[in-house]
Amino acid sequence: MAGRSTRNGAGKGTILVTGSGIDARRLEVLRARGYDIRQPPPLLTEEQLARELKDVVAYLHGGEERATRAALESAKSTLKVVAFLGVGYETFVDMAAADELKMVVTFTPGAARDSVATFTVAQIINANLQMFRLIGNRYPDWKSVQDLPYELSARNVGIVGMGVIGSRIAEMLRRAFDANVAYYSRTPKKRLERTLGMEFKALPDLAEWSDILVVMVPGNSTTSSMIDDEVLGGVRPGTILINTARPSVVDPEALYTSMETGRIRLAAFDGFYSKDSEAAAKLLEDFGSRMIVTGHVASHTLQGMGRMLDQAVMSIDNLLSGKPDPHTVSAAARIPRRPPSSRPPG
């Protein structure tokens, strides 16, 4: 399968752009610099990605494909920049391989803050009001008064992670819904506590306190299985789990046990575990009616995608022009800088 290319006669090299929802107009900066743009169909396999990467100088990663060592090695003679659309690059890009191959990786922090926060709050509302069960049913048919949903002002919402997105979620919940909000973070956020009227709790205490537990931390080796048996074993029966972070942050076997016992009544994930995961398959098979699973789309709004694309394009333009870039997550200095006289204008 060959990607569709938009050619520019200047012949400075090809940039691979993956994913859906890409506004081609935002790539014009790169075309104006003299680069060809190649956009293959989405959902590339490792082999397909390796073929697409073979002769490219930069790779704007906006899809769901994994940039594995094998895929990156296919482009080791030409590929200089991997610009990841979003923040969870460690899940999708083999960082060790990129570093060894002297490929600079960038990301787009903060660009989709409002999009992801809004999506997460929507998931909270959906799960809390059980809207997904009511759609298409003329009568709610509540089995008992205990089945009735709660107003958010009567719920304790615990947020795991208080970065730019977690803090925006907290702000929305406090100011729009007057929900009771507490949080766990590596470092307490005293100013936010005063501004929003919320408190810091240790993770086990937060889990025990929460009616709705929201997970919003980066997915990496430090946070892998952070939400484990110890955390989920301490939640009160009937708790709702909302995970808009990486699936790997929640241990699937611990989640299975907590759903089996009823401690987790409902779980919502944006992006799910690998198709090869036996534990994940069993979760959907046994508790599918109590799970809301979407396809890693929390950031997919017109505005959020636009800001991420602009950041990624700027990173590619900076680095291929020999300039520093503020959004690098690997050794940017390895790209040799051109002398000022040879840089493209702009």
Q: What is the mean pLDDT of the chain?
A: 91
CATH code for the domain of 321: 3.40.50.720
52 and 132, same domain (yes or no):
no
Compute the distance between CA of residue 345 and CA of residue 26 in angstroms, rounded to an integer.
Answer: 19
Under the banding of pLDDT at 50, 70 and 90, the label for residue 1 is very low
Can you read off the two tokens belonging to residue 182? 């507490």
pLDDT at 98: 97
pLDDT at 68: 97
pLDDT at 132: 82
Average pLDDT over residues 162-168: 96
100 and 119, same domain (yes or no):
no
221 and 283, same domain (yes or no):
yes
216 and 234, same domain (yes or no):
yes
Domain boundary among 278, 294, 310: 294
32 and 178, same domain (yes or no):
no
16 and 89, same domain (yes or no):
yes
pLDDT higher than threshold 70 for residue 337 = no
200 and 128, same domain (yes or no):
yes
89 and 132, same domain (yes or no):
no
pLDDT at 7: 54
Average pLDDT over residues 284-289: 94
The model carries a pTM of: 0.86
184 and 237, same domain (yes or no):
yes
Q: What is the pLDDT of residues 188-204, one digit of tens each?
A: 999 999 999 999 999 99
Measured from the Cβ of residue 56, the count of other Cβ atoms closer than 10 Å reads 23
129 and 226, same domain (yes or no):
yes
Q: What is the pLDDT of residues 52-82, one digit of tens each?
A: 999 999 999 999 999 999 999 999 999 999 9
Q: Which domain holds residue 62?
A: 4-109+302-342
DSSP state of 288: G
All residues at 6 or more sequence positions from 55 whose CB lies less than 8 Å from its CB, including other chains: 13, 14, 75, 78
Under the banding of pLDDT at 50, 70 and 90, the label for residue 3 is low
pLDDT higher than threshold 60 for residue 4 = no
Split into its structural domains, the chain has a count of 2
Q: How large a percentage of the chain has pLDDT more than 90? A: 79
All residues at 6 or more sequence positions from 283 whose CB lies less than 8 Å from its CB, including other chains: 252, 255, 256, 259, 273, 291
121 and 255, same domain (yes or no):
yes
81 and 14, same domain (yes or no):
yes
pLDDT higher than threshold 80 for residue 2 = no
DSSP one-letter string for 317-341: HHHHTT---TTBSS-GGGSPPPPGG
Evaluate the CA torsion angle 152, 113, 229, 199 in order and state its sign.
Answer: negative
